Structure 1
Amino acid sequence: MDGLKKVVLRLIEIIEIIVILSIGLLFTIYILRPIYENFGIQFTGNVWVNWFGVSYILFVLYSLIVGLVISRESILFKQRLTSVLFWLIFIGSNYVVFIPFIKGGNPF
């Protein structure tokens, strides 16, 4: 039964990732694109980089809400929130999403 529990937990993690990537795509297309265009930033090039950045920011917000509010005892969320790589990628994602406002164009 322990093996089945691990499979179910991995399946839940995969579903979480797919849902967050899907929501990130919707945010990128319907929210970020109009914001960029209102600031005169062309939404062309490697847009998938922006999509990943938005998705990862949403993933961090999800992890913070679930890890700090809903399931404080979860080892998965404790390890995730204390991971240096987790926060470094978050900083990179913020750079990817917000640097076009500083440079005046999408460098990707």
Structure 2
Amino acid sequence: MNGWLKVFIRFIECVIILAIGLWVTNSILKPIYEQYGIMLLGNVWVNWFGVSYLLFVWYSLLLGLSPVKENKIYKQRINSGIFWVLCIGAIYVVFVPFVKGENLF
């Protein structure tokens, strides 16, 4: 497969994950936050990115652990240290407001 086509496919994957993350943030996370008395105000994009990155992690794990030959990039991704550090950061962004009782961002 052409190198530029692979780059384009990865770009489309990221855009789709960001779009789904925005929908999840507004449709699912916001009502859950409001149910616990947490207002989703301020830099909502931080929460949006956290949700999107968690979706990206699940997507990468699903494809990286599947027995398909053409998943080399996903296996490299899940073996990366920065991938897991960013995952911990995304978990912090999404779940710490439940502990603190307010959105910190």
**TM-score over 0.5 (shorter chain):** yes
> Map of 1:1-108 to 2, 5 A cutoff?
5-69=2-66, 71=68, 73-108=70-105
* CA shift digits 1:45-66 (9 cap, x unpaired): 1000000000000000000111
* CA shift digits 1:72-105 (9 cap, x unpaired): 5522111101000000000000000000000000
How many Å separate the matches in 2 of 1:22 and 1:101?
24
TM-score (norm 1): 0.93
Letter in 1 for 2:87: F
Shift of residue 70, structure 1, vs aligned partner = 5.2
Structure 2: runs of 5+ lacking an equivalent: none
Aligned residues: 105
Identity level (%):
53
TM-score (norm 2): 0.96
Once superposed, what is the RMSD of the aligned Cα atoms? 1.2
Structure 1: runs of 5+ lacking an equivalent: none
Higher normalized helix content (fraction of residues): 1
How many Å separate the matches in 1 of 2:89 and 2:4?
31
